[in-house]
């Protein structure tokens, strides 16, 4: 599929996200947090949701409360991602592109390699695990540095029946986490051992 098809789908999905109300977003965040126990990993690479994404801070807090180690991205000037440990929402600072990041020391570009599961942002995912990201390429580069299963976080209706347009550099995901549906493994991907 073409870059134009990806751009058109991104516009549509962003408009739908922008139309969500604050109460609906908060409910989605609380629902995601209830799925924390289903994530099969001691160390999870996550992200802090921005710009209409399903709210992830309640999930990150739930993972930390359960004794899990959580890593978050630190966006570099070249749009690549370093990683740092998440301690709490209060310990985040606003950073590049207004994306909150941990204030602690960086674990470097390869810090993601410590993750046993990666939670990635997406605008949509299809049943074959094709992921439509935001378009910056940051996660596609970061995911090349990790062998752990990748699970995209989307709203329930963003798990699509029809194929998501992708390009050769786009990496597929093994699963999807949605507020109502919880964790689902896609395209025959086996769940990782805990």
Question: What are the tens digits of pLDDT across the range 120-146?
Answer: 999 999 999 999 988 777 888 888 899
Number of neighbours of residue 55 by Cβ within 10 angstroms: 23
**CATH code for the domain of 48:** 3.40.50.10420
pLDDT at 192: 56
95 in any annotated domain: yes
Domain span including residue 161: 3-185
107 in any annotated domain: yes
191 in any annotated domain: no
**Residues 6 or more apart in contact with residue 123 via CB below 8 angstroms:** 9, 10, 13, 14, 17, 132, 133, 134, 154, 158
Chain-wide mean pLDDT for the chain? Answer: 90
Helix locations, 52-182, DSSP H:
57-65, 138-143
Q: What is the SS3 assignment for 151?
A: strand
- The C-alpha atoms of residue 43 and residue 2 are separated, in whole angstroms, by 36
Q: What is the mean pLDDT of residues 53-72?
A: 97
Residue 97 dihedral angles phi and psi, to the nearest 5° = 60, 25
Q: What is the mean pLDDT of residues 75-83?
A: 91
194 in any annotated domain: no
State yes or no: pLDDT of 163 exceeds 80. yes
pLDDT at 109: 93
- The C-alpha atoms of residue 91 and residue 29 are separated, in whole angstroms, by 19
| Number of domains observed in the structure of the chain | 1
pLDDT at 56: 97
State yes or no: pLDDT of 148 exceeds 60. yes
The model's pTM is 0.92
For 100, the enclosing helix (H) or strand (E) is strand 100-102
State yes or no: pLDDT of 177 exceeds 90. yes
- The C-alpha atoms of residue 151 and residue 154 are separated, in whole angstroms, by 10
pLDDT digits (tens, 9 = 90+) for 24-41: 999 999 999 999 999 989
Percent residues over pLDDT 70 in the chain: 95
Q: What is the mean pLDDT of residues 184-190?
A: 74
Q: 181, 159 in Cβ contact below 8 A? A: yes
Number of neighbours of residue 184 by Cβ within 10 angstroms: 16
Q: 114, 71 in Cβ contact below 8 A? A: yes
192 in any annotated domain: no
Q: What is the mean pLDDT of residues 1-17?
A: 85
pLDDT at 190: 53
């Amino acid at each position: 599929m073409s870059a134009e098809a990806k751009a058109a789908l991104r516009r549509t999905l962003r408009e739908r996200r922008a139309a969500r109300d604050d109460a609906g977003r908060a409910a989605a965040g609380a629902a995601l947090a209830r799925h924390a126990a289903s994530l099969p990993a001691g160390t999870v690479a996550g992200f802090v949701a921005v710009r209409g994404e399903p709210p992830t801070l309640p999930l990150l807090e739930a993972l930390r409360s359960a004794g899990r180690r959580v890593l978050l991205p630190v966006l570099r000037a070249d749009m690549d991602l370093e990683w740092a440990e998440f301690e709490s929402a209060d310990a985040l600072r606003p950073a590049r592109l207004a994306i909150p990041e941990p204030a602690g020391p960086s674990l470097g570009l390869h810090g993601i390699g410590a993750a046993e599961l990666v939670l990635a942002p997406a605008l949509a995912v299809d049943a074959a695990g094709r992921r439509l990201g935001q378009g910056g390429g940051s996660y596609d580069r970061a995911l090349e540095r990790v062998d752990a299963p990748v699970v995209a976080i989307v709203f329930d209706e963003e798990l699509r029946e029809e194929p998501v347009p992708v390009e050769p550099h786009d990496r597929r995901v093994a699963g999807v986490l949605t507020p109502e549906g919880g964790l689902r493994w896609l395209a025959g991907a086996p769940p990782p051992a805990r």
